[in-house]
Amino acid sequence: MGAKILVSACLTGHAVRYDGQAKPLVHPALDRWCREGRLVTICPEMSAGMPVPRLPAEIEPGRSAAEVLSGDARVLESNGGDVTAEFRQAAENALALAIEAGCAYALLIDGSPSCGSGFVYDGSFSGDRQPGVGVTAALLRQKGIKVFSGSEIEKLAALIEGE
């Protein structure tokens, strides 16, 4: 059995996003890892009890996921609702599952305030992106798990298949 990979549920076709949609990634490596039983699937936000659909949420303007984890910033819904506790719980749940299942790697959907690993939205709910990571991705990286976005699947494949 090769390396295990934690994956965003919406990336593997589960309709769990805030808008009730999935965002499936189609790639032969993903199919192969699925057949090999390497994929450990989670939607961190749903694991913390958030409903589908749900309001969009963003890390508040000018702040980072690391600051959310340290208690110095909030995650807010588009109507101003504070979902910081849920997002921190989501990250803890993903980390606990990754540790339990022995995942050294994660393949997560970019842009999400939980799963983003290259960019996130800037907190203004205007669709503007900025470089940054989501709360789950930040915690996984803090704990040494190598996090890749869907567009980096080739990089991840080269890494784990060389092991």
Owner of token pair 């390497």: 38
User: Which segment (3-11, 72-80, 98-106, 121-129) binds ligand SF4 by CB under 6 A?
Assistant: 3-11
User: Which segment (60-68, 70-78, 109-117, 123-131) binds ligand SF4 by CB under 6 A?
Assistant: 109-117
Measure the CA–CA gap between 104 and 99, rounded to whole angstroms.
Answer: 8
Q: How far is the CB of 42 from ligand SF4 (least distance, A)?
A: 7
- Angle at CA of residue 83, ends 126 and 106, nearest 5°: 85
CB 136 within 8 A of CB 92: no
For ligand SF4, the binding residues in 47-86 under the rule CB under 6 A are none
Measure the CA–CA gap between 106 and 66, rounded to whole angstroms.
Answer: 18
Asked whether position 45 contacts ligand SF4 by CB under 6 A, the answer is yes
Interface contacts to ligand SF4, rule CB under 6 A: 8-10, 16-17, 43-45, 109, 112, 114-115
